[in-house]
Amino acid sequence: MQPPNEPLDVLVIAPHPDDAEISVGGTILQCKTLGMSVGVVELTNGEPTPHGTEHLRAEETAASTKVLNLDWRHNLGLPNRSLENDLTSRRELAGIFRLTRPGIILAPYWEDAHPDHVSASAMCDAARFWAKLSRSDLPGEPFHPPKIYYFWSIHLRIHPQPAFVVDIRPHMDRKLEAVRCFESQVLAGRSTDHPTLLDDIKDRARYWGWTIGTSYAEPFASREEIGLSDLRALQ
């Protein structure tokens, strides 16, 4: 694994390929517009699925990476469908944090019907702590990622209260372009009757946009308080 040449501004932790695109594709594009460096690490390859293969998912991921203009992307190759926040997985992810040194981690929300998503969220919290440990055999130097926020990658029909909501109005079309790269997951074998999965993704972004008075948006949760330098950040 070749780490980025410089520390990342943002690192997205995705349980499976396409989770980053579906959940925070617009935020990634917004960060890139602002000149921020963004990386994605998938914990698993997402296979097996009804219409996918490991090779196809890798091709789809490469295509989406170009659409999002990511600075770095890596797959840890942990077991799909049986992802666990065990010591081995925690060590792997903590090593990624130390080698990429992100200013912000975007992690899956901690409550969901998908066990991989729940495990991934807990793994991010634990690896964030482990990454700062000294006198360890982890790669790189000790590092504590200063900020971690949680994105909606939720199968449960619940409505958590976000800490903040990001306006992605200029980026909705390209977000959907990135999602469509994963044809085996979002198009193949699915009904074309309304609402399709792509309709659902767009409509949810439309709802969150409505909550902040814009067209499209993506929500985030935080376990910790969020500091502001001044009130202009709330405009």
Q: 64: domain CATH number?
A: 3.40.50.10320
What pLDDT sits at residue 151?
A: 98
What pLDDT sits at residue 55?
A: 97
pLDDT in tens, the chain (235 residues): 899 999 999 999 999 999 999 999 999 999 999 999 999 999 999 999 999 999 999 999 999 999 999 999 999 999 999 999 999 999 999 999 999 999 999 999 999 999 999 999 999 999 999 999 999 999 999 999 999 999 998 888 898 999 999 999 999 999 999 999 999 999 999 988 999 999 999 999 999 999 999 999 999 999 999 999 999 888 7
What pLDDT sits at residue 132?
A: 98
Is residue 228 included in any domain, yes or no?
no
Is residue 231 included in any domain, yes or no?
no
Is residue 87 included in any domain, yes or no?
yes
Measure the CA dihedral 162/172/23/139, to 10°.
Answer: -110
Is residue 234 included in any domain, yes or no?
no
Is residue 45 included in any domain, yes or no?
yes
Is residue 211 included in any domain, yes or no?
yes
Match 């992100």 to its residue by tokens: 102
User: Does pTM top 0.85 for this prediction?
Assistant: yes
Match 């600075």 to its residue by tokens: 71
Question: Residue 118's CB: how many other CB atoms inside 10 A?
Answer: 18
What residue numbers bound the domain in which 86 lies? 10-223
The count of domains in the chain is 1
